[in-house]
Structure 1
């Protein structure tokens, strides 16, 4: 049979390119982690001569268009009516707004920050309870109508919707019914099955479960990013679910010469021997920096030789942990930074910190950040569930260590300090640690699956 990754000329009796519609709320130029999977799939399919269209939100970046997918093939639709963005934390500092943890804060400023945090958490929780299936529900009908009005006779062979947010599933199901084509549900994270990040109460879980079952009845296939998550779907929802992992995204070298940390941070930490970095959001009550900072505090005089950089949305969790453990002189809080600066922070650190949830319910989570870290080829210190997919991947690849106890973390820090003192560096991971983990390695399987759903490739299962 012909290569299923190219437009087949014998299967189904046609040599026309397979037409794929990707429904993704997050898509470039948005630089969120959620935009990477659909963007990579669109690029990969287009490179293999598939006819790819995208239905998404946002505004185009005409100076830096999406590679391989012309803007005329991307339908961008704004939610109507616009709702306030629901956040669990106050707005982050602008990129480059350096703030060391040791900088004094007035009592009034601290109280105001805590009040904003409390209000935002309440609004987020209320919205997560009342808006079904999520706070992007106001995008469903505008997206469906706009695509049908502008498609100009173009009809996909298969639709793929990637969530969260899971409003995209409702969009895909409606379009699939109107156009009489199959659709695939792509789960970057789970919805109502064991996902404590998004589901709050038992009543809301029941509503989501019923809606999810109804939508999946119309889906031709479901896909997720790890085997434990797929098994949870099979066991709980009774749907056959396949696995296509995320992967390492290749990216161009950084072009900025801007210092990673600001002048104050460089002055405070010029003598630091070991630099650790965490990039990205810290989830409340799920990803706890406390054990790491307690370990730094337990080092005594050696604590002055450790520098921990946190780059990401400032939600108060890290700040409070710093205050509680008394290690302000060893910590820099950079706030929100650009994607390029985040990558530079990763590349310049000695060790990268990956905060995950130390709970069996997080066993199947494979955060996209782990692939960014692997690409930086710096050792990883994972705080999280020791039998999870992420922990097993790090150990199998010799890419770092998994530690949760503050004494064990402190001992590991001492080991790295001694290594840095002896040789002046922490060795990079070997290139072989990345073998088979690049995004394209995973996407080849995805195109086969989509070809099967569209009836253009013989099923392999």
Structure 2
């Protein structure tokens, strides 16, 4: 029999750790590439799980690639319980969008901006080509260092369960390998789906087949999968045959931005480019996904307002990838849009709290019916009305309508009519009413994590009693 070439996560030896905690305290190892102090969206669900598990009396350790000084997010666990391992070797990182000061969408791009756009397009093509060759994702250089360093420093501490959150899905490889080495169950937490998801990025059929094969192979040994919506859970069940549970994201309890003696963030940014504050301000925070989550209908609706367009302004806070600028120029609404570029998490929350209306861009396609954006919960926390552009029969649209948290429109004429209605309310009363506090009931993070901890308890119990869990070799 020929010997196959080892996969990047294969290692020749195995070790067996000691017994579980003498006092019966359940132990969890969380494997997540992203973790505080990083302020990335990918760090928030893992951080919330760790914080809640600790409050529930679990003994928790964390394995992450996030460096200690990589952000300002607050710590959720003592630093001596976090193993931080840098990827190695370092891979080149392309700058896909320029950074710089916030700018208005008025004015045509000059030669320097056109040159920057050409460079972005070239970098994006190189990035896609490189991504096709990095399996399972560009974080594959974290797999070996993470496994080896954790096994080196863990001492005699042995988890009862390993939980990994992705993307990136290199963390799934790390968790599956450690679970096999330590003889414990592991749980795969999908914030987004991998090879069967709407956001799957690879272009070639060969790469899709490779990712599908890796995912199926890894999930042979998984004790359970968890994801953020029931349609996504059902997709995992039917495709891979694994036990899958739905645990939504939730609203992170945090204090609202304190009162400030300075001008609101949005007004400050507009003043920086010499523009006065409009009567109605809409805000979108976060990334714009080309081809799927785009602001075109909203920009076209503003163009339909005629003279009223002067009283409406949309602020986009997030990485500028050229999508918004192109849409603004096509619709001819340069005077009604400001692009802030990347902003800190704190500034993003302040923008959300200060806006009259928050714009949530999703994909207007039945394939997006089960997507529940984590941004939804940020917006609900701000209690500003939501204008959702996306699939009107999807889970997100249903939540907005049922909770009376805003409106769902995709037609430019319907959006224009809604903008006029909000303008009239703002003119009469000086403000757009807040979303009722009752709309947030049952949607806080702890409401969801209570059930998550029960799933983990069941997994550890079944592993301890030998029911329904068996560590499968990854060498099959």
Shared fold per TM-score greater than 0.5: yes
Residue 21 in structure 1 maps to residue 21 in structure 2: no
Match of 2:84? 76
Gaps of 5+ in 2: 1-19, 468-476
Shift of 1:103: 4.5
Q: Which moved more, 1:373-382 or 1:109-118?
A: 109-118
> Which of 50, 53, 66 lines up with 2:58 in the alignment?
50
Distance across 2 between alignment mates of 1:170 and 1:58: 17
Match of 2:137? 134
> Which of 99, 118, 141 lines up with 1:92 in the alignment?
99
Shift of 1:274: 0.7
Match of 1:352? 358
Distance across 2 between alignment mates of 1:67 and 1:114: 38
Gaps of 5+ in 1: 1-11
Q: 1:296-315, aligned counterparts within 5 Å?
A: 296-315=302-321
What does the per-residue CA deviation read over 1:221-251, in whole Å, with 9 as the maximum and x for residues that have no partner? 0110000101111122222211011000112
Match of 1:339? 345
Shift of 1:212: 0.4
Q: Which moved more, 1:323-332 or 1:450-459?
A: 450-459
Match of 1:361? 367
Matched position secondary structure for 2:316: strand
Query: 1:98 touches 1:262 (CA, 8 Å); kept in 2?
Result: no
Matched position secondary structure for 2:384: coil
Match of 1:148? 151
What does the per-residue CA deviation read over 1:368-390, in whole Å, with 9 as the maximum and x for residues that have no partner? 11100000000000011111111
Shift of 1:61: 4.1
> Which of 226, 244, 249 lines up with 1:246 in the alignment?
249
Shift of 1:430: 0.6
Shift of 1:448: 0.5
The change in CA–CA distance for 1:446 and 1:284 in structure 2 (over 3 A counts) is same
Q: 1:6-405, aligned counterparts within 5 Å?
A: 15-61=23-69, 66-85=74-93, 89-93=96-100, 97-106=101-110, 108-254=111-257, 257=262, 259-261=264-266, 263=268, 265-266=270-271, 268-405=274-411
Distance across 1 between alignment mates of 2:107 and 2:200: 32
Matched position secondary structure for 1:337: coil
What does the per-residue CA deviation read over 1:87-124, in whole Å, with 9 as the maximum and x for residues that have no partner? 6x32433xxx2211114531x12321221221222122
What does the per-residue CA deviation read over 1:324-356, in whole Å, with 9 as the maximum and x for residues that have no partner? 111111111111001000000000000000011
What does the per-residue CA deviation read over 1:399-448, in whole Å, with 9 as the maximum and x for residues that have no partner? 01111111111111111111111211110011000000000100011110
> How many pairs align?
444
Query: 1:277 touches 1:345 (CA, 8 Å); kept in 2?
Result: yes
Q: Which moved more, 1:114-123 or 1:55-64?
A: 55-64
Shift of 1:59: 1.7
Q: Which moved more, 1:187-196 or 1:348-357?
A: 187-196
Distance across 1 between alignment mates of 2:126 and 2:71: 36
Distance across 1 between alignment mates of 2:76 and 2:344: 23
The change in CA–CA distance for 1:345 and 1:447 in structure 2 (over 3 A counts) is same
Distance across 2 between alignment mates of 1:258 and 1:421: 21
Shift of 1:129: 1.2
Distance across 2 between alignment mates of 1:413 and 1:258: 24
Q: So what's the TM-score if we normalise by structure 1?
A: 0.92
Query: 2:392 touches 2:408 (CA, 8 Å); kept in 1?
Result: yes
The change in CA–CA distance for 1:64 and 1:415 in structure 2 (over 3 A counts) is closer
Distance across 1 between alignment mates of 2:114 and 2:361: 27
Q: So what's the TM-score if we normalise by structure 2?
A: 0.89
User: What is the RMSD of the two structures over their aligned residues, measured on CA atoms?
Assistant: 2.2
Match of 1:3? none
